[in-house]
Amino acid sequence: MEPPSNPGDSLVELDFTMENVESALYQLYFDPDMERKNVAQKWLTQAQASAQAWQFCWALLGPEKLPEVQFFGASTLHNKISRHWTDLPTDQHESLRMQLLSHVLHFSSGPKMVLTRLCVALAAMALNLIPQAWSQPVADMVRAFQPQTPDSEGAEPVQEPHAHCLALLELLTVLPEEFQSSRLAQARCAQLREALTGEWTVVCPLLRQLLQSQDSSVQVKERVLRCLSSWVGLDVPLGESHELVQDCFPALSNSELFDTAVETIVNVISQPDCQRYIDALVNLMPLVLGLHDHLKAAAQDGDMETSHGICRIAVAMGETHSRVLLEQVEHWQEYLALVNMILFCTDTPGHYPVSETTSSLTLTFWYTLQDDIMSFEEEKQAVYLQVYRPVYFQLVDVLLHKSHYPSQEEYASWSSDDKEQFRIYRVDISDTLMYVYEMLGAELLSNLYDRLGRQLMDPQQSAVWQDTEALLFGFQSIAETIDVNYSDVIPGLIGLIPRINISNVMLADTVMYTIGSLAEWLADHPVMLGGILPMVLQGLVKPELSVSSVSTLKRICRECKHDLGPYAQDILTVSQDVLVKEIHKSSQCMWLMQALGFLLSALPVEDILVRLHALITPHVQQLDSLAQQEPNPANKQLIIHILGMLSSLFTTLDIRHADDSEGASSLRLPPSQSTQNPVVVVLQQVFTLIQTILSKWLNDSDVVEAVCGVFDKSVRTLLHDFGPMVAQLSEMLGLIYSAFPQSSALDLARQMVHIFSGEEEHISNIKSLIEVLTSATLNIFQQGPRDHPDIAESFMQLHAQILKRKPDVYLCDQLDVKALFYCGILSLKFPETPTVKAASLFFTELLPRCKDVPSLGEVLQRDGKLLTETILHAVGGGSPRSLTEHFSEVLLSLNRHCPALLTQWLKETLQSPGFPSAQVSTEQKHNFSQQLLREQTNKRRVKEIVKDFSLLCRGMQGSGY
């Protein structure tokens, strides 16, 4: 078939006729030029919305047309009915209904995509007419598709009853779906739902008849099942349809229908509304239990799909209706049987996710059942616990078994995706075990401990490492989140752990994590540390145990630091050795340094410096060597790594809290008069070296950031003890930023302002630093800051901090306040959220201080209108809508601190035609101003006002945003 002549780019000027639409469709589907495709797409969208679409859509459905053309015709028809229904005169409704029914019958043999769109169009029409103009749509549709009724409802003589039956089922399936996807007013929605639910009395018997009929093909039965699924979404009463649901169960025996039948049954019994029909639920129970043999056979044969499907049905029944079924006391044995069936699913043979995927479906059921049992009053709860506690002990056995690793050979053959899924699965099991502890309590820990003891004492049993690993995994799952301090089995467990042979990596990993989970217990029982620390240090020297051993040592050093004095030398010796030998990856080295920071913090002050020097000297020497070499990528990574280790160490090395086991000492402590902080001593000693590194790597932002990170972490940890470094660091920061401005230097300066701006001895250094940083940054803004959003963000945050902590800095002549104000306005125009947020913070800190700082008041008087205009332009569409919240905070601050000026500025800026958007009228702008000016305290209300105005400006009001 030859395509019609192609109108090309002149398409936009053409009339909306059938010929032009068809040409545009050829251009859309077959033209290789994407630009021409886009032109066609745009024009066709306009054509669908046009009044002519009511006519050309039928012509496009002609039998000689391509399926793509017919599909567009059917889609256009649906579009007109669902979106432009009011354009059609009422007297044409009946003829449209006849035409639609006729076309559905005509296309019943295909193409399928055209038939479905026509059915959706007819469904949309029914929703527009129900119930007044079309009181019994389903009955009329069924009648139209009946055999030997060529004269009724415009139907044709039925020559293909099978195809027509499928078409009718398609129509009945899409009717509820179209309702669910329609946007309707609440009252209309309720009216339609009631009307459609009433039609279920016609649909249900028809579906039953087709499902039971020997003549129905597999295709028909599958459509029946899908149709039932669709109607279930309307909350049709289970009491009236439980027989139909029962009829779905035989379909599970047919492999072609199995998946659809599972989906349908699960959809039906997952409806919470079903709980109103207890008799119907109870009647379904034997059918669900009857699948147990089928389930066992599937599990034995390794049929994952069948196991999965039946498990979904059992879990849907047990989880959705747990409480209702528990309360049916006379049927307690049936529900217990269902619980045991789900337990069987949890215990599906094989390793998840390689040889089974069923067991993971059941885990949330056990939460639900436990919650429902524990929610009963005490007396009733005791009865249920008597029945279900043994089941939960069985569950623990099953979960531990399912958490078993496969053999190392098999595990090595798994893909990385399978290993990750298995890891997540074990996390889910861990969470379940932790939850189950709430029901089983101390008896669960005793049970695990007894089994572990028997295993470790029996050489044959302890040879199977997976069994030991699973039991430790169970302990760790519980100890990680539950307070086990009062458990009487933990001392015994700590005594058993050294007996475990950790030659297997996965077992050793779990041993480490188990010890880590008991760190808080060890802090209360430090006498036990001696038996357990050697194992951790033994793990520390093994690269394969890197993550688990380092994280465990870090937890012990954090929780038990006050009791580690006798073991400090051993820990430091092993740690220094593994760091020098580079056994661990960079991130684990950082963790290890944090652990050593905790350890050193609790030692006597006179010991700290000696041990600190011994620890860092090899790394400082290496850094010194690297500093003498010419820059290259390998050296860069090593420098950043060593600086990162120093940062990590200084993050946790805090002698101010060394005697504060409760962590309640004041954060602001005066620096010691007799001795300097060991960290400060070290920083002063390496300062020259750091300057040397900077001299060679000044243009590399990563290295500069790493250097700033060392000082930033030190300042945050030491607070006022960092004082002796302020002068040196201020001078160095000013020099490096002037030479090569970077945001990390501004962030470090902000920390220094935060801590030292109130101290007389440091204020001159801080002021000098602020002046240097501000001058250099103003140069960047003069040249155009758009390529430096990070610098703009950090600069705004720095000045917000200055305004908050030391606003009298702005009294000096060296700061160009007007230029700063303008930098804030420029920063508000950035599209990046962090930059806009920082600029908004700058202005909300600046505005309250305009009365006290004359220079700020003057610049506000002069440029406040520009600030207001900038914000309104952004709100009106100049900036992403997600930033509106930040602009509203500045407007609130303006209104709170200078309402008269804001009133004037709003009036002057909003009177400009088309500002901030052509979409808003003068009246709407006036209403916005009045609403805004009324609110000086309610932040939430101001956000709503600004958000609504922003939507108005963008033409999005009422669009659901």
**For position 12, what pLDDT does the model report?**
57
**For position 287, what pLDDT does the model report?**
95
* pLDDT, tens only, 325-336: 998 888 889 999
Mean pLDDT within 536-558: 96
Per-residue pLDDT at 421 exceeds 80 = yes
Q: Could you tell me the sign of the dihedral formed by the alpha carbons of 29, 32, 37, 38, in that order?
A: positive
Exposed, middle or buried by CB within 10 Å (0-12, 13-18, 19+), for 151? Answer: exposed
Here the tokens at position 919 are 């979409």
Distances (CA, A) of 870 to 73, 437, 834, 899: 48, 58, 18, 18
Average pLDDT, the chain: 89
Per-residue pLDDT at 541 exceeds 90 = yes
Distances (CA, A) of 719 to 232, 648, 656, 679, 688: 64, 16, 10, 12, 22
Mean pLDDT within 334-363: 95
Least confident of 43-52, 67-76, 660-669: 660-669
Q: What span, in angstroms and rounded, lies between the C-alpha atoms of 97 and 152?
A: 13
Q: Are 539 and 510 in contact (CB under 8 A)?
A: no
Long-range contacts of residues 131-139, Cβ cutoff 8 Å, at least 24 apart? 131/191, 131/195, 133/93, 134/97, 136/199, 136/202, 137/175, 137/199, 138/172, 138/175, 138/199, 138/202, 138/203, 139/199, 139/202
Direct distance between the N- and C-terminal alpha carbons of the chain, in angstroms, rounded to an integer: 46
The closest of 841, 784, 770 to 812, measured between CA atoms, is 770
Per-residue pLDDT at 667 exceeds 70 = no
Cite the DSSP H helix spans in 726-788.
726-739, 743-756, 760-783
Per-residue pLDDT at 666 exceeds 60 = no
* pLDDT, tens only, 724-763: 999 999 999 999 999 999 999 999 999 999 999 889 999 9
DSSP states along 367-395: HHHHHHHHTS-HHHHHHHHHHHHHHHHHH
Q: Could you tell me the sign of the dihedral formed by the alpha carbons of 48, 52, 55, 60, in that order?
A: negative
Per-residue pLDDT at 639 exceeds 80 = yes
Q: Are 314 and 288 in contact (CB under 8 A)?
A: yes
Q: Are 224 and 169 in contact (CB under 8 A)?
A: yes
**For position 927, what pLDDT does the model report?**
94
Instruction: Specify the amino acid at residue 528.
Output: M
Per-residue pLDDT at 160 exceeds 60 = yes
**For position 233, what pLDDT does the model report?**
83
**For position 739, what pLDDT does the model report?**
92
Instruction: State the pTM of this model.
Output: 0.78
Per-residue pLDDT at 278 exceeds 50 = yes
State the pLDDT confidence band at 482, using cuts at 50, 70 and 90: confident
What percentage of the chain reaches a pLDDT higher than 90? 65
Phi, psi at 474, each rounded to 5°:
-65, -45
**For position 910, what pLDDT does the model report?**
93
State the pLDDT confidence band at 673, using cuts at 50, 70 and 90: very low
**For position 467, what pLDDT does the model report?**
92
**For position 838, what pLDDT does the model report?**
97
Grouping H, G, I as helix, E, B as strand and the rest as coil, residue 830 is coil
State the pLDDT confidence band at 809, using cuts at 50, 70 and 90: confident
Q: Are 274 and 320 in contact (CB under 8 A)?
A: yes
**For position 145, what pLDDT does the model report?**
81
State the pLDDT confidence band at 43, using cuts at 50, 70 and 90: confident
Per-residue pLDDT at 146 exceeds 80 = no
Q: What span, in angstroms and rounded, lies between the C-alpha atoms of 638 and 678?
A: 25
**For position 228, what pLDDT does the model report?**
93
**For position 625, what pLDDT does the model report?**
95
**For position 186, what pLDDT does the model report?**
81
Element (H, E) at 524: helix 519-524
Q: Is the peptide bond before 916 cis (omega within 30 degrees of 0)?
A: yes
**For position 524, what pLDDT does the model report?**
92
Per-residue pLDDT at 672 exceeds 60 = no
* pLDDT, tens only, 834-890: 999 999 999 999 999 999 889 999 999 999 999 999 999 999 999 998 999 999 999
Per-residue pLDDT at 13 exceeds 70 = no
Per-residue pLDDT at 32 exceeds 50 = yes
Residues 6+ apart with CB under 8 A from 572: 596, 599, 611, 614, 615
State the pLDDT confidence band at 461, using cuts at 50, 70 and 90: low
Q: What span, in angstroms and rounded, lies between the C-alpha atoms of 825 and 845?
A: 14
Per-residue pLDDT at 671 exceeds 50 = no
DSSP structure class, residue 332: H
Distances (CA, A) of 800 to 559, 745, 751, 874: 37, 16, 12, 21
Here the tokens at position 82 are 């669902």
**For position 957, what pLDDT does the model report?**
64
Q: What span, in angstroms and rounded, lies between the C-alpha atoms of 871 and 874?
A: 5
**For position 502, what pLDDT does the model report?**
86
Mean pLDDT within 689-704: 93
Here the tokens at position 189 are 């929605």
State the pLDDT confidence band at 961, using cuts at 50, 70 and 90: very low
Q: Is the peptide bond before 131 cis (omega within 30 degrees of 0)?
A: yes
Q: What span, in angstroms and rounded, lies between the C-alpha atoms of 664 and 830?
A: 42
**For position 501, what pLDDT does the model report?**
87
State the pLDDT confidence band at 370, using cuts at 50, 70 and 90: very high
Q: Could you tell me the sign of the dihedral formed by the alpha carbons of 153, 155, 157, 160, in that order?
A: negative
Greater model confidence, 831 or 662: 831
Greater model confidence, 164 or 842: 842
Long-range contacts of residues 181-189, Cβ cutoff 8 Å, at least 24 apart? 182/82, 182/124, 182/127
**For position 462, what pLDDT does the model report?**
65
Q: What span, in angstroms and rounded, lies between the C-alpha atoms of 399 and 394?
A: 9
Least confident of 312-321, 410-419, 887-896, 913-922: 913-922
Per-residue pLDDT at 216 exceeds 80 = yes
State the pLDDT confidence band at 141, using cuts at 50, 70 and 90: confident
Q: What span, in angstroms and rounded, lies between the C-alpha atoms of 295 and 539?
A: 44
Q: What span, in angstroms and rounded, lies between the C-alpha atoms of 787 and 831?
A: 12
Residue 349: other Cβ atoms inside 10 A: 13
Element (H, E) at 311: helix 304-320
**For position 181, what pLDDT does the model report?**
84
Q: Are 325 and 281 in contact (CB under 8 A)?
A: yes
